[in-house]
Amino acid sequence: MDAATLTYDTLRFGEFEDFPETSDPVWILGKEFNALTERDDILSDVTSRLWFTYRKNFQPIGGTGPTSDTGWGCMLRCGQMILGQALVCRHLGRDWRWDKGQRQRDAYVSLLNAFIDKKDSCYSIHQIAQMGVGEGKSIGQWYGPNTVAQVLKKLAMFDRWSRQVVHVAMDNTVVIEDISSRTFANLLSSDPYCGPLWRPLVLLIPLRLGLTDINEAYIETLKQCFMLPQSLGVIGGKPNSAHYFIGYVGEELIYLDPHTTQPSVEPSDDGQVHDDTYHCQHPPCRMHICELDPSIAAGFFCKTEDEFDDWCMRIRRLSCNRGSLPMFELVESQPSHMVSVDVLNLTPDFPDSDRLERFFDSEDEEFEILSL
């Protein structure tokens, strides 16, 4: 029996560790909770996050490829989860809650259908795996945080419903000028006074916080990222597995684990989805922060320009904190030593993927494929 199936069995038999009773504040994606008095609220918030796991018996990827992603798709599923959270914030709001067994809002149904395991779903495992071929990754090959961030950026170009920008900040540097040039769009309008409009921003920042282990000087800064109201969490993991980290309590990270193999789900004729298996209905997993692999990607969502300006202000304040190192640099314009990916002339065909490899895949060899 493989590790993923074992995880599924423990889920069914209720062997997950309960959430701790502690006076330490609990932070989940920018929201603070009290574990002693708000336990139900914590679990409701966690359950409302989209939980994408291994699936089996879906349409063959590419027509003749794998029908399950067990053993290789965990980072792809984590990419789906962090982007799914961005879409929840975009279309439903951060405070939206999932009601089990209730007919869901149309926006929720449309959102979930974007991730269903079918070739024509915008962010399906099929689309992510096939788009990864352009990044030099064969179907069934394991991704690192960098690669999945770049693939999501490309897929977002075809998402006409959400009309948001996925920006991947490279070299541990967020360039405000680059973001502004991508998030403002001149929309066709009969009003001559209607100028550029801000498009919602998904900011993904691939980072390396140490050589083989996380540098403890980054730990407090990493915690503070989960406290920001724009937080989408972190994708990363530890040897042999990838996780979607959504918060922390004390010295433990809180995460959703994709290592559960579940049957694929087919939407009904009206698009409704039996969605129980897309929400984690047990206490979230936890691990000590020092166990985190140093290669991660942090995510943030700014629906408006004001929210981005607020994020910049908060990041500048964090960089002034004594006793901790900033995880990345925030600058107004591109430093002369940086190479913009725009000069590589990215198009939907992405013929220059070989030249992009050294920018996007530097961390992949640090992760191992989950043994079956």
Enzyme catalytic residues:
74, 257, 259
Rounded Cα distance between 331 and 333, Å, is 6
User: Hey, what are 218's tokens?
Assistant: 């980054």
Q: Which residues pair with 69 in a beta bridge?
A: none
In sequence order, which ranges of 204-272 are alpha helices (DSSP H)? Answer: 219-227
Residue 201, SS3 per DSSP:
strand
100: left (phi over 0), alpha (psi -120 to 50) or beta: beta
- Please give the helix or strand (H or E) that residue 238 lies within, else none: strand 231-238
Half-sphere exposure of 183 (CA within 13 A, CB side): 24
Phi, psi of 135 (to 5 degrees): -100, 10
**Residues 56, 264 contacting (CB under 8 angstroms):** yes
Residues 6+ apart with CB under 8 A from 40: none
Phi, psi of 145 (to 5 degrees): -60, -40
196 CB-contact burial (10 Å; exposed 0-12 / middle 13-18 / buried 19+):
exposed
User: Hey, what are 43's tokens?
Assistant: 């679990």
**Residues 33, 248 contacting (CB under 8 angstroms):** no
